[in-house]
Amino acid sequence: MRKLRFAVIGLGKMGLLHASLLNTFEDVQLVALCDKSALMSRFCRSIFSSNGVVVVNDLDRFSELELDAVYVTTPISSHASIVKDLYAKGIVRNIFTEKTLASNYGQAKEMCESARKIGGKTMVGYMKRFSVVFGKAKELLAQGKLGEPYSFHAYAYSSDFLGLTKNSKSLASRGGALRDIGCHILDIALWLLGDLEVVNVVPDHEIGDAETSSSFTAANSNGLEGRFDISQRMPNYRMPEFGCLIECPQGKIDVNDDRLLLTLKDGSRKIWYRHDLEDNVRFWLGETEYYREDFEFVNSLLENRVCEPNFETASKVDYLIDQVRKRDRQG
């Protein structure tokens, strides 16, 4: 059977990670890589030459490769123009982009519209959905035994920019704390709790294109209310950490990257660590979530079914981020 032909655009750490994982899938052939940097593409050409992978620094070269899918892992600011090009030039119908989908909701809507017209599969790299602990939270909420959530507190913390005194170009290119790490917990909250609207942005936090922290409240029409705290300047967060406390009438779920603690109304408690939740994958790289994410995208193509989170779903994160920034500007 013919293998699915994949290419990756952007050879930073995420591009190389996805290229590596895709290369372990039996149904996938890694055909081409693209990076606009002449130096990077020249270096990768020397590495990949023996594997038969084409390395280019111009997207147009993809036209002749009969690609089934492309991964876009470039800086966020370039996602919209690259996706537009891929569709417009008929290079590919199925696209995965790293998070966030776009630099703003306007761009995200245009990308969703283009994807609808083309009719291919899409996915955005919100890999936390593929974590076994957050998956357990989704399962517990879906069972309905805890009742409708009425309150939440979600956070995304890292020490990445703790003590950094001068402006970081990288911080700006990563879109600030909201787009860099905040988007993951926004996606998790939307996935677990449904659509939300921003209510209030807490002042005294630097907001702009390259903020390092942000706090705000959000709610839905069913009376659910909660707060988001996002910071890349927290002490003692060696790795970024994401978590959410969800309160329901019959108990509460306290979940983070490592474990889920369920406390029922009668005071009984149960804890699940990753160890308890079948966390192994066919090939580990970075985190087990990345393998499951790529597996979902590849399988959606093989089985010709909708993939989640797709452009449409992921655009809701861009919507919320725009709301936070707009409300902050309005004071």
Which residues of this protein are in contact with another protein, per CB under 8 A?
12-13, 16-17, 19-21, 23-24, 40, 42-43, 45-48, 50-51, 160-161, 164, 168-171, 173-174, 236-239, 241, 256-259, 273-275, 279-286, 288
Instruction: Output the smallest distance, CB 259 to another protein, in A.
Output: 6
Both tokens of 211, joined, read 């903020």
Q: Say which amino acid occupies 86.
A: L
Q: 59 or 285, CB closer to another protein?
A: 285
Min CB(94)–another protein separation in Å:
21
Residue 186 near residue 317, CB atoms below 8 Å: yes
Look-up of token digits 């660590």:
273
Tell the smallest beta-carbon distance from residue 50 to another protein (Å).
Answer: 7
With respect to another protein, which residue has the nearer C-beta, 35 or 322? Answer: 35
> Using an 8 Å Cβ cutoff, are 111 and 210 in contact?
no
Nearer to another protein, 211 or 328 (CB): 211
- Minimum CB separation of residue 317 from another protein in Å reads 20
Interatomic CA distance for residues 154 and 152, integer angstroms: 6
What is the spatial distance between Cα 114 and Cα 103, in angstroms, rounded to a whole number?
A: 16
Name the residue nearer to another protein (CB basis): 22 or 317: 22
Q: How far is the CB of 13 from another protein (least distance, A)?
A: 6
**Closest to another protein by CB, 73 or 315:** 73
Start-to-end CA span in the chain (Å): 59
Closest approach, Cβ 325 to another protein, in A, equals 22
Which residues are within 8 A (CB) of 52 and not within 5 positions of it... i.e. 6 or more apart? none
Cβ atoms within 10 Å of 250's Cβ, excluding its own: 12
Whether residue 99 contacts residue 125, with contact meaning beta carbons closer than 8 Å, is answered with yes
Pick between residue 161 and residue 311 the one whose CB is nearest to another protein: 161
Which helix (H) or strand (E) is 199 found in, with range? strand 197-201
